Amino acid sequence: MAINIVSTKTFNGPSVFHSEPAIVITINSSRDTWDTIKKNVDTLKNLLSSWFSWQPANNSSSEEKVAGIISSLSKSILCEIRGELKSFYRTCKDKNIILVFEYYDSKMIIESVQLVISLLLQQKALDSEETISQIKKFWSKCIQYHPDFQAQFLINYCKDNNIPFGKYFSSGKIWRYGWGKRSRLFFESSPLEDSRLGSNFASNKQLSKAIFFKLGAPTPEGVIVSNGFHLDDIVKKIGYPLVTKPADRGRSVGVTTNINNVNHLQTGYNYAKKHSSGDVIIEKHIEGEVYRLMVVRGKFWGAFRRNRPYVIGDGTSSIENLVRLKNKLVTKKIKPGSFIGPIPMDSSFYSFLNEQGLKSNSVPAIGEKVLVRKIPLLSEGATYENASESIHSDIKSLSESLAKSFGLDVCGIDYISNNISSSCFNSGGYFLEINGTPGLRVPLMAGVEKSEIAKTILGELPARLPTILIVSENKLDNNILDVVKSYLSCGWVNKDITGIGKMVFPERFSSVKSGLERLISNHIITEIFITCTSEEIKKNGLPINLCDISILNTAQNLEADWEQVIKQHSINFHKGIDSEIIIKHIHSLFQ
């Protein structure tokens, strides 16, 4: 009994297998494979039940069952931490299994299939700890090659709106949306246009506060300390209540609020220091609700209130049981590594209830709202609510001023106030910090549609460019190439030669797709012209997923299914036309 990978084939663009870039893996398995691996399948389903489920279709053959479990489990392991990929399979007459996967990195697909096969073929009983360890080790690689939540958010919008996208480097977190002059680069939710100096300012909380003060934006008085020996002096200078927090962390990690005595201050300082790679900030504690203000391209976009974790009474359940029920619903939505978490029932939970004169077994009345955490952390069950309609114009104006002064194209500003409808100069509202890569999960949790968020962040620029594809084994007519080169911002690929206008790059690329990748990464190009052979297309797939004009001028008979692929990914398709007509098409599209 065996499951062997017979071959792998990577298509960089549409092919007869899939309309998107895909890797095709051919697997051979013996007739008795399913009966042999069924026990391990059941073990894996139980072990991974919190995020993986699979059931073979009724009346499916043993080969189909083997194909189904490998395809489904490989995709689930690939996407559980990061990414959203499609996979499917088919079985052939010779009993081979064809697996087809979309990919961010083809090597990761092969590795995931190999991992699943090794688990299924395990001779000894699967050890739960060892199995989870293997999967987590693979997940650590997924983090390098797959898009994080922010990037996936934007990618999904691009897919839905026919906007091309791709990784700027093979690994890392830089993604490109659009082509050439119609493209933008992003790191998570932060675009290339962000000022590097401003981003450095934003990451330094103390420097940020100094800029807030200089611009007239109210901010709590505070100091930065490197050790705990000056705490008494700080108390004399600022006075209680106080807040301690790491100078280099976000998302309220390591924060202690409402400090009212020196022992509590020392504890808060130690807690902040534990979560900091450097200094600790001690500042005046301000009572109020925390808001995330988002500014995009210099304009205020939204205000989102972060609500402290709470439960709503039903008249019969205790606070503790209400929290358990809420956590059960939340936990189903949490992926490993997510910033969202359930409400902890720890000492802070019981202490905060006690401050309110409540106990964990208290039963709130129907509709009664009970706060269960003092600090609104997403990792501890906090939620967001849209408050954009209530914000005062002074707060809007200052948030726009801060974003422009820091040079941030997209940013999130944390603001605290008891009344966001009143001016920050009258209501005791304060600006706390500014973030250059704001979480897109915030407006999503507050009820803003995914498409609206992504469109706002990306803007109108990202798009594809006018594109012509010629498929021919013959040498391109020099007259055609001269016309193409006359458009000085046209990026062109002539089989293995690439250029922009009259400029020709000296390298010879191994594939048309490689040359094209250089072109679409150049922000000066405004049109694309491609020539390639039919063999190149059958080997690597179409170099581009949508052409304005595709011309099939090959002397060889291209198989009908491949010709159909070209037609499906072309707005206008022509076959067997001469140079003069091709030149007319170039002028009509590029002018």
DSSP string computed for 276-338: -SS-EEEEE---SEEEEEEEETTEEEEEEEEEPPEEE--SSS-HHHHHHHHHHHHHTTPPTT-
**CA angle (440, 112, 185) in 5-degree steps:** 35
Is residue 372 scored above 80 in pLDDT? yes
Give the integer Cα–Cα distance in Å for 120 and 136: 17
Weakest mean pLDDT among 29-33, 64-68, 437-441: 29-33
pLDDT tens digits, one per residue of 94-124: 778 899 999 999 999 999 999 999 999 988 8
Rounded to the nearest 5 percent, the helix, strand and coil shares of the chain are 40, 25, 40
225: which residues sit within 8 A by CB, 6+ positions away? 231, 234, 269, 279, 280, 281, 282
* pLDDT for position 215: 95
Instruction: Compute the distance between CA of residue 246 and CA of residue 37 in angstroms, rounded to an integer.
Output: 51
What number is the average pLDDT over the span 33-46? 90
- Of the chain, the end-to-end C-alpha distance in Å amounts to 63
Residue 278 has a pLDDT of 78
Rounded distance between C-alpha atoms, residue 400 and residue 235, angstroms: 33
**Residues found in the chain:** 591
CA distance 572 to 229: 75
Residue 168 in tokens? 């700027």
The H-assigned helical ranges of 6-52 are 33-47
For 52-72, what is each residue's pLDDT tens digit?
A: 889 888 888 888 888 999 999
Per-residue pLDDT tens digits for 312-354: 999 999 999 999 999 988 765 555 556 678 999 999 899 999 9
pLDDT of residue 331: 66
Segment 398-409 mean pLDDT: 96
CA distances 310 to 106, 257, 281, 287, 344, Å, are 44, 18, 28, 18, 12
Structure tokens at 125: 């009983």
Q: Which long-range CB contacts under 8 A does 35-40 form with residues at least 24 apart?
A: 35/62, 36/1, 37/3, 37/66, 37/69, 37/120, 37/121, 40/119, 40/120, 40/121, 40/122, 40/126
**In contact, 259 and 234? CB cutoff 8 Å:** no
Tokens of 513: 């797709």
Give the 3-state secondary structure of 475-510: CCCHHHHHHHHHCCCEEEEECCEEEECCEECCCCCC
E-state strands within 12-73: 22-29
Q: Are 388 and 293 in contact (CB under 8 A)?
A: no
Q: What is the pTM of this model?
A: 0.89
Q: Report residue 75 as tokens.
A: 């995709």
Amino acid identity for residue 448 in this structure: V
How far is Cα 517 from Cα 491, in angstroms, rounded to an integer? 10
* Average pLDDT score, the chain: 90
Q: What is the pLDDT of residue 317?
A: 96
Angle between helices 62-79 and 33-47 (to 10 degrees): 30
pLDDT at site 18: 94
247 pLDDT above the threshold of 80 = no
Helix axes 62-79, 128-145, angle to 10 degrees: 60
Tell me how far apart the 2 most distant CA atoms of the chain are, in Å. Answer: 88
**CA atoms of 253 and 134, how far apart (whole Å):** 29
